[in-house]
A and B are shown apart, each in its own frame.
Chain A
Amino acid sequence: MGDIAIRARHVSKIFGQSRVLDDVEFELRRGEVLCLAGENGCGKSTLIKIINGVYTPEEGVELSFGDETLSAISPIEARNRGIHVIWQDLALFPHLTVAENIVFDDYVAKPWRPISYKDALTQSREIIQQFGLDLDPMARVEDLSIAHRQLVAICRVLRAGASIIFMDEPTASLTYKEVQTLLGITRSLAAKGISIVLVSHRLVEVLEVCQRVTVLRNGKLVGTYPTEGMTQARLSTLMTGLELEFTPRAETHKGAPVLELKNLSREGEFENVSFTLHRGEILGLTGLLGAGRTEIAHTIFGMTQPTSGQLLKEGQPLTLNSNRDAVHHRIAYLSEDRLNLGLVQNQSINMNTAVTVLPRLEKPRFFLSPQRIKALTVHWIEQLKTKVSDAELAVSSLSGGNQQRIALAKWLATEPEVLILDCPTIGVDVGAKAGIFDIIRNLADQGMAIILISDEAGEIWMNADRALVLRDGRIYSEVIPAETTEEALEAIINA
């Protein structure tokens, strides 16, 4: 500790007209776990790419590696100094075995040498044992879970002699347990003198494992802070420049019951789920991945049919043969998978907003007025304060937060009484998250009944009037956030 692994000073980078990085300073100590935090587009990736030699920074930069100071670095020099980056997509070869992936760099370095599978096996076993990991070198990478693939990627850079590892959003698609394992490994690598930089959106984890956190905002350095004594709220403020409130919803807002589930079951997915949803209420539905959250939502939305039990809307039994029936009964569902299911990414913002209400827009029959579609989009863009330059552009041209607003708009256009939101802030920046929470709370204040599905305890704690915790397809406990702390809720979810 204390020894400097890298110190970068006066790092700037200009792309075209925009200054992506502006005189940033970055320092990493030997054997330290450092967090690099900031919203999308704040310059985190650019900084990493400058340090590992992919981008050439503007003049005036000083890169020092303890003994020596350079004004630029090439990718090969960076590698020779033990700087490695594990990108979010991991860049592994899915059809090859774990061992082949780990020793792959040898194949690149010495392309003329015949490949020895035996050597690959022994060498990768050595690495796996040295760091006490749970990996089968004979397994094919495509058969592994994301968490295990991550371990393969780590082994690969360790084998290549990494002493400084940048990890880009390593926890993004892991379950709670897997995150804990990964963070444990990070700690033990640091104990062996390896410096680690974690880039993460999940603030709770960051505070838990890192010693210091470097915050960037709009290409500028906000500062580097010790994590001791740092709260999640303060870190959010540093990242966004906004004071965000971190309090549960003030009081419960229960109106008349709207939707009732009576012992609803679907074989292999969930069992005996019963609850009543009221007008103006935000009901949190939480639990670990695979606890049955999304499955229940799909059944309420008519995409799957229950095997037993009953669904009632305003006291009347409801049979839904498809999601069109659900939309007809004023039930809407925002998918957790915005990329593949929530929006048609290649098509225009106009089309994505209007797709749910075509029968209403096609009046008279067989005349779908383009003007009416545009008017609808303009209305919702204003309502939800969405940043859109041209609604004829593909929805994929928007940022995550603005995409999510369009996904919300398309369902709000159906004027739902029951709105199911499945992980509405996935892939959305901290600042934009707060905006989406505001929208959700406002909708509930206006009397909409909302089911908020999330695996982030904080999200549920801040927004839900009442939270149901699911485990293995059953309701395991009911929590009133206002009567407990976020940590207690987190503990119940992960118990």
Chain B
Amino acid sequence: MNKRLNKQPSTAGLRLGGDTLEVAAMTALLIGSIGLFSLLAPGFLTATNFGSMSMQLPELGLLSLAMLLPIISGGLNLSVTFTANIAGLMTAWLVQGLLAGMGILSVPMAIIAGLAVGAAAGFLIGVIVAYVGAHPILVSLGAMIFLQGVGEFLTRGGGMSGMPEVFQTIGSGSFLGIPIPMLIFLAAAAGLIYIMHFTRTGFSIYMLGSNPRATEYSGINVKRVLITVYTISGILAGLAGMVMLARFNSVRVGHGESYLLITVLACFLAGANPFGGFGRVLPLVLGLMSLQVIASGMNLMGASQHLATAVWGAFLIIVMALRMPFIKQS
């Protein structure tokens, strides 16, 4: 990043113009991985494969977006996967029970209620982080175990399935050739980019992530910003819950649990600072796409899914190692 010292003041967007390096790196990664598997994996460059990739990506994608915001604010939200489950449970329960007689109108209402549950879970974490001052890792770890326990208690370890047909339409339908879950993910990412770069909430989250005390001394309501961070995180996790519910036509507590640490990995892969203050949505989206390309490509080559996970881990280490010289210079 040393080169930036000699750079002319950029005329593009504020922070959008700043970290071009991360975007360039992630784009190179994406193009590189697509190129590699086009050569190696038979059937990679087919519409079917791209369709199935964009079907699988949104769950992990939405959960990663839910993880990114707390990381930028200098924290972590370990409860994203179980928040998604609980939100899904709420929706499923309403659709099959309370709102069952209301016909088509029940679906949007149940979805809104599910997202509200996600928001509430995030809001509570935010309130505790802001007012008690406990470390977000501890608070969200507690919330994660709590939500897991509540969910397992309510479902007695089983699941709920058999959603109305609308959910299948959402889960496997497509619009203009793009699967609906992918559209939901892209819309969420676009919304998040807007919040982070064009609202004072986003501005405050970056400042707070670097130095909460100096931000408070500047007259920013740090507590309110923290609560907003975790509430948005909860809503995004809830959205992930909706997508999972629609895609599998069922909900089970523990579904997507293995995604948790991968969301953290994706955020760091995309250049988010583990100590807060830095991290952007666009590189994260590109990074997630690369991870999906690797997984699908290896799958087509007949490798086990577990091997793909191992490759992801190795990937993070390599990218970190390549990035270190730049971090040290700046």
Contact = CB atoms under 8 A, between A and B. Distances in A.
Given A355-B218, A356-B219, A370-B197, A347 B14 contact: no
A348 B207 CA distance: 9
A368 B13 CA distance: 11
Contacts of B204: 355, 358
A366 B213 CA distance: 25
Given A323-B219, A324-B219, A362-B200, A370 B14 contact: yes
Contact of B198 (A322, A344, A347, A368): A368
B237 to A, nearest CB: 23
A326 B5 CA distance: 37
Contacts of B210: 344-347
Contacts of A355: 203-204, 207, 215, 218-220
Nearest to A347: B210
B206 A342 contact: no
B206 A366 contact: no
Nearest to A328: B219
Interface string A328-355: 0000010100001111111110110011
Contacts of B14: 350-351, 370, 373-374, 392
Given A368-B198, A373-B14, A390-B4, A347 B218 contact: no
Interface of B is mostly: loop
Contacts of A324: 219, 221
Nearest to B9: A390
Interface string B181-220: 0000000000000000111101110110011011111111
A393 B5 contact: yes
Name the residue among A333, A347, A359 with the largest chain B CB count within 10 angstroms: A347
Given A323-B219, A341-B214, A362 B199 contact: yes
Contacts of B214: 340-345
A348 B203 CA distance: 11
Interface in A367-420: 367-370, 373-374, 389-394, 397, 410, 414
A391 B218 contact: no
A344 B15 CA distance: 15
A341 B217 contact: yes
A351 B211 contact: no
Contact of A351 (B203, B213, B217, B219): B203
Contacts of A346: 210-211, 277-278
Interface string B252-290: 000000000000000000000000011000000000000
Contacts of B198: 366-370
A328 to B, nearest CB: 9
A374 B197 CA distance: 13
B10 A392 contact: yes
Nearest to A334: B217
A344 B207 contact: yes
A326 B206 CA distance: 23
Contacts of A342: 214, 217
B199 A366 contact: yes
A327 interface: yes
Contacts of B220: 355, 358
Highest count of chain A CB atoms <10 Å: which of B13, B14, B15, B17: B14
A361 interface: yes
Contact of B200 (A326, A361, A414): A361
Contacts of B213: 340-341
A344 B211 contact: yes
B7 interface: yes
A408 B132 CA distance: 32
Q: Say which size band chain B's interface belongs to.
A: 35 or more
A359 B215 contact: no
B133 interface: no
Contacts of A356: 218-219
B165 to A, nearest CB: 36
B18 interface: yes
Nearest to A302: B219
Interface in B137-161: none
Interface size class of A (residues with CB under 8 A): 35 or more
Contacts of B18: 348, 392
Given A340-B211, A344-B211, A393-B5, A368 B17 contact: no
Nearest to B277: A346
Nearest to B220: A355
A354 B221 CA distance: 15
A389 B5 contact: yes
Contacts of A347: 206-207, 210, 277
B282 to A, nearest CB: 15
B221 A358 contact: no
Nearest to A372: B14
A256 to B, nearest CB: 26
Nearest to B19: A392
A303 B218 CA distance: 11
A324 B215 CA distance: 12
A487 to B, nearest CB: 35
Nearest to A342: B214
A397 B6 CA distance: 13
Contacts of A343: 214
B9 A368 contact: no
Contacts of B4: 390, 392-393
A432 B211 CA distance: 26
Contacts of A366: 198-199
Contacts of B218: 344, 355-356, 410
Nearest to A343: B214
Contacts of A370: 13-16, 197-198
Contact of B217 (A335, A392, A397, A414): A335
Contacts of B207: 344, 347, 351, 355
Most A CB contacts (10 A, CB to CB) among B198, B200, B207, B221 go to B200
Contacts of A394: 330
A368 B16 CA distance: 13
Contacts of B206: 347, 351
B272 to A, nearest CB: 14
A368 B203 contact: yes
Interface string A69-83: 000000000000000
Contacts of B13: 370
11 contacts: A323-B219, A341-B213, A342-B214, A347-B210, A348-B15, A351-B14, A355-B218, A368-B200, A368-B202, A373-B14, A393-B4
Which 8 pairs across A and B sit closest by C-beta, in order of nearness?
A370-B14, A358-B200, A355-B218, A346-B210, A344-B211, A327-B219, A362-B200, A344-B210
Interface of A: 303, 322-324, 326-327, 333, 335, 340-348, 350-351, 354-356, 358-359, 361-362, 366-370, 373-374, 389-394, 397, 410, 414
Given A342-B217, A355-B220, A393-B5, 15 more contacts: A324-B219, A341-B213, A342-B214, A344-B277, A346-B278, A347-B206, A355-B203, A356-B218, A356-B219, A358-B204, A368-B200, A368-B202, A368-B203, A370-B198, A390-B4
